[in-house]
């Protein structure tokens, strides 16, 4: 693997990178949904309401 190399097609490695890409997108969407769903309740729990936090 030493020396400059041009990337060759390797389905298993492509799948490996695809899994990371998919996880990133799922986490972005999933945590975004959770933030909208649980964010106000969490703020209420931490500071007693979110009306002054913004």
Nearer to other proteins, 25 or 41 (CB): 25
Taking residue 50's Cβ as centre, other Cβ atoms within 10 Å add up to 14
Burial call 21-32: b when 16+ CB within 10 Å, e when fewer: eeeeeeeeeeee
19: tokens are 């899994």
When asked if residue 13 is in the footprint of other proteins (CB under 8 A), the reply is yes
Contact with other proteins (CB under 8 A) among 19, 33, 37, 38? 19
User: Which spans of this chain sit near other proteins (rule: CB under 8 A)?
Assistant: 1-5, 7-8, 10, 12-17, 19-21, 23-25, 27-28, 31-32, 35, 43, 46-49, 51-54
């Amino acid at each position: 693997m030493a020396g400059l190399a041009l990337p060759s097609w390797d389905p298993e490695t492509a799948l490996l990178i695809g899994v990371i890409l998919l996880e990133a997108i799922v986490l972005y969407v999933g945590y975004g949904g959770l933030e909208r769903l649980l964010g106000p309740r969490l703020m209420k729990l931490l500071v007693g309401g979110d009306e002054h936090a913004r």
